[in-house]
Amino acid sequence: MYSDFQDQLRSRLAAINDAGLYNERGTLMSGAAVIDTPQGQVLNFKSQVYIDNQVDAAKTETIAAKYGDNLASVLEGKIARLLGAESCLLFNSLTDAYVAISAQLLNRSDAIIYDTPSLYSFTTAVSRASKYKFHNTDLADLEKQLKLSQAQQNRLIVVDSVNIASGNIAPLNQIFALADRYRAMVAVDETNAAGLFVDGGGASELLDVKGRAELTIGSLAKAFGCQSGAYIAGRREIIDYLRQPTGLPDFAAPMAKTDMAAAISAIDNLPQNTAQRQYLLQITNYLIRKLYGEGFEIPPTQSAILAVMVGDNQKAELFARHLHRNNLLVTCLASPLIDNQNARIVLQLSANHTQEQIEQTAKIFGKVAREIGVLQ
């Protein structure tokens, strides 16, 4: 029985690899500029860690010993204060956090109005609530979904503060205004923003709406350098309810103590660790200028994520495959997450990239694009 399915999986994996989209397990949590793959060393633009926390084992052990059994509650308090929230609950992974919201917090009479393409977690999470989709920056689409969902008892708008398809920041002020008008709640995913902007409070702090959201969701990997860990911060009653036994699996699985200690250190170091954050945005802007010079179209971005517009799926997948062959590890974003005419190559930078590597990357992009007809 398995042999038939095995052949199907091998065929699917070969197609993913041919498209340049194959994901090596060892790269998933890497913020290194250069990584080793079975094909050799490649420049990594699928960074899962934007900034190195640089906490050694001795310091982690000291923090863990200092707080002992209170380690989790200390970290939850620090995250809550960083994000302007009343309370916070830790999870082992971001997926666990989304499942808790989707399956535990909301009922069949409720509605989730979620951002696409960023928040794909809600397309697979077990949910009793009705689901409505809107595009990250399309306020008219959001208002349409709010009108369509008015029969639901409670409605939760879930938006990624930094759009993974472009790197641009969501118009949170206008989203909160619509939520107020239609009596909806808001959850903001700050995974790609917390720890990076202003004093570390994410895009909400940058746009002066810190503490406005009923819920703030995020990972402790991107800017905090942890191998595991996520959180939901927000209104006290929501967090208290999520802590209660409900007959569902225990979504609040404990983080590793080393990661909790590393996250505490990273948050404590935010006021002093501005150089890496500034450098990250500088090299992102530098790469944008270099790619513009090669002739590429790049949507506006305000983060360490940038997109290179390509066109249809086949052309984008071909481009990704040839970039990979030229030792650049990138993400091809195509349908169904993106409509077929707006497929793109997405790059996520880290503070470990050098100016020389950025210049090399732009040249490879231009060379490969002209070779395969993406650029004339």
Cβ atoms 145, 139 nearer than 8 A = no
What is the structure's pLDDT at 26? Answer: 45
78 vs 125: which has the higher pLDDT: 78
Q: Please give the Cα distance from 238 to 242 (Å, whole number).
A: 6
What is the 8-class DSSP label of residue 253? P
The closest of 292, 361, 294, 295 to 330, measured between CA atoms, is 361
Average pLDDT over residues 334-362: 90
Cα-based angle 202, 55, 89 (whole degrees, multiple of 5): 45
For residues 70 and 108, membership in a common domain is answered with yes
In a domain, residue 15? The reply is no
Average pLDDT over residues 278-292: 95
Q: State the amino acid at position 203 in one-letter form.
A: A
| Tally of domains within the chain | 2
Q: CATH code at 212? A: 3.40.640.10
Q: Tens digits of per-residue pLDDT, 78-91?
A: 999 999 999 999 99
For residues 239 and 115, membership in a common domain is answered with yes
Q: Tens digits of per-residue pLDDT, 219-255?
A: 998 888 788 899 999 999 999 999 887 655 554 457 8
In a domain, residue 9? The reply is no
Say if residue 368's pLDDT is above 80. yes
Cβ atoms 174, 209 nearer than 8 A = no
Which strands make up the sheet holding 331-333, listed edge to edge?
305-311, 343-348, 331-333
For residues 202 and 107, membership in a common domain is answered with yes
Q: List residues bridging with 169 in a β-sheet.
A: 162
Q: CATH code at 287? A: 3.90.1150.10
Residue 34 belongs to what domain range? 21-51+273-372
Cβ atoms 134, 275 nearer than 8 A = no
